[in-house]
Amino acid sequence: MSNNGGAPYGPDEPTSFGLQPPRPPVAVPHPGNPYAAPTQVVPDRQAPQEPGTGRLIAGRYRLLGKLGHGGMGTVWRAKDETVDREVAVKEPRVPDHLPERERANVFERMRREARAAARLDHPAVVNVHDVAVVDGQPWIVMELVRGRSLGDALQEGTIGAREAARIGLEVLGALESAHAAGILHRDVKPDNVMLGTGDRVVLTDFGIAQIEGETNLTDTGGFVGSPEFIAPERVVGQRPGPASDLWSLGVVLYAATEGVSPFRRNNTPATLQSVLNATPAAPNAATGPLADAINGLLDKEPARRPDAARVRTLLEQAARPPEPAPTQVVRIAEPGGRSIRVGRKGWIGIGAVVVAAVLAAYLVVADPFAGPLPDNWEKKDLKALGATVAVPAGYQKTVPKPDAAKDEHWVQFTDLSGSLWISLTLAKKAEDTSGEIAGSAAAEMYDDDASYRQSGSYGMDMDSEPAPKSKPDPTTYKDRKAALNTITYSTTDTEYPRPREIQVLYYKTKSGDMYKFMIGYPGKGDFTERGREVARTAIANLDIDTL
């Protein structure tokens, strides 16, 4: 019961969730969500009806319109004419060319979906009303959840930590109910978490759930589910348990707060490798108990993951509103020796003058790049890239050749020795016809890192022996989310391999353009600290015209 009708994970899914400021989820209709129902339907009398609209199923369910479809079925909005209520009806969708055995497996999986959900009595599990058999095929009739999926919400922005913890608590409750009934969900992901009206959260799609005691429908040697959310033990073929579903919940919470799925890569094999071996960057937006819950759930070893009771305690702490600061009463002497009581607001007003003075003094000494550039530095206005960069005086400028492709937007400045260089590259959204720009700066950073692991190079003279080391780190640029990666490596010079280090700042504008600001320098020796100083100064003084 996923929001695409049960479509399997594939290359058409977005590469990441966009990193945007937290905003509260709003329960609104979404055209890609098969459970979403508009609060008001205004029929377009000019538009032709979809084939099948108006059909009566099992003598009582009138199909009103399609809500979504995927690999396993089409979900319809329908009216139960017997009790006069709207429902969601999932129609089996099986290609005609499938062998009879595989068709039977699809039908059996849908029956299990209905049985698994029907066995659970929890407000965070979608209610199954009926299974209507039409021409030997099961049609699942369930409640119509008005809202949208968490996956849809994350396409618009990340979720605040408290809201993520609240959603996590509801999903955890659904999983606890399922596990108590001997059911493993096996496909917990944002697209299967519905955000309904009235702050309701519903876990959907038990289509690949494993019910204790029933035969596995999965082909020998294969697995089902979305790779980036599958627990490591499932990837290597070990028997899953409740801890496997809890791992998936940890990935969902990470993606909801950080805006990027921690293990998603460019293809399925790379994604599975990252699930097994990659350590995600520490949560940035999630702190305190929520970060503890995420970090614990993403432990590669199932036995070391916190159990549901411990996760519930942490999420309850993270979802709890902050306690108001206690009122402070201070006595200040009046002229003549008397004293007066000052409450918290008054104390803030009196202290603001002192705090402002201290803060002003701090800013003068704490930010060495807030004032004029260091001596022998100069700013370069790069109108073609919509940015201004600062470089040491004397660096030589290199730009694309006149006959280069029109989508080559970059510039590089190199010192005369060739040891230090600064480059800025711009990938324009308007020219990204193949969808190569990731959904966020962090996602672009992880994609680049994964591409290196696959191809062996960032496009520079990196030797694969020994393998370069990356240190990805979420950061900010002008108070907006960005990403910074530091890579150490050896050059491919067989006779005289040189240790090198580069820093790459990733920043994605509101319009979808992606900037990559790179500084390269020797990784060891007298010029290493100089290179790092150049990197700090250049990054601090980067100025992009349109954020």
* DSSP helix/strand/coil, 62: strand
Shortest CA distance to 78 belongs to which of 100, 97, 63?
Answer: 63
* DSSP helix/strand/coil, 384: helix
Distance CA(427)–CA(433), nearest Å, equals 11
**How buried is residue 256: exposed, middle or buried, by Cβ count under 10 Å (0-12/13-18/19+)?**
buried
Distance CA(2)–CA(7), nearest Å, equals 8
Q: Render 492-546 in DSSP notation, one character per residue.
A: S-SSS--EEEEEEEEEE-TTS-EEEEEEEEESSSTTHHHHHHHHHHHHHT-EES-
* DSSP helix/strand/coil, 459: coil
What is the token pair recorded at 15? 């590469």
The answer to whether 90 is annotated as binding is yes
Q: Which residues contact 196 (CB under 8 A, 6 or more apart)?
A: 27, 145, 146, 147, 202
- Strand runs labelled E in 113-213: 128-134, 137-143, 147-149, 183-184, 193-196, 201-203, 210-211
Q: Which H or E run contains 363?
A: helix 344-366
Distance CA(247)–CA(227), nearest Å, equals 12
- Amino acid found at 65: G
Residues in the chain: 547
- Strand runs labelled E in 247-399: 330-333, 339-342, 377-382, 387-392, 396-398
| Cα Dmax for the chain | 99
Q: Give Cα 371 to chain centroid, integer Å.
A: 36
Point out the residues that are catalytic. Answer: 187
Shortest CA distance to 210 belongs to which of 254, 240, 176?
Answer: 240
Q: b/e string for 404-437 if b means 16 or more Cβ within 10 A?
A: eeeeebbbbbbbeeebbbbbbbbbbeeeeeeeeb
* DSSP helix/strand/coil, 484: strand
**How buried is residue 299: exposed, middle or buried, by Cβ count under 10 Å (0-12/13-18/19+)?**
middle
Q: Which H or E run contains 480?
A: strand 480-490
Annotated binding site: 90
Binding site for ATP: residue ranges? 90
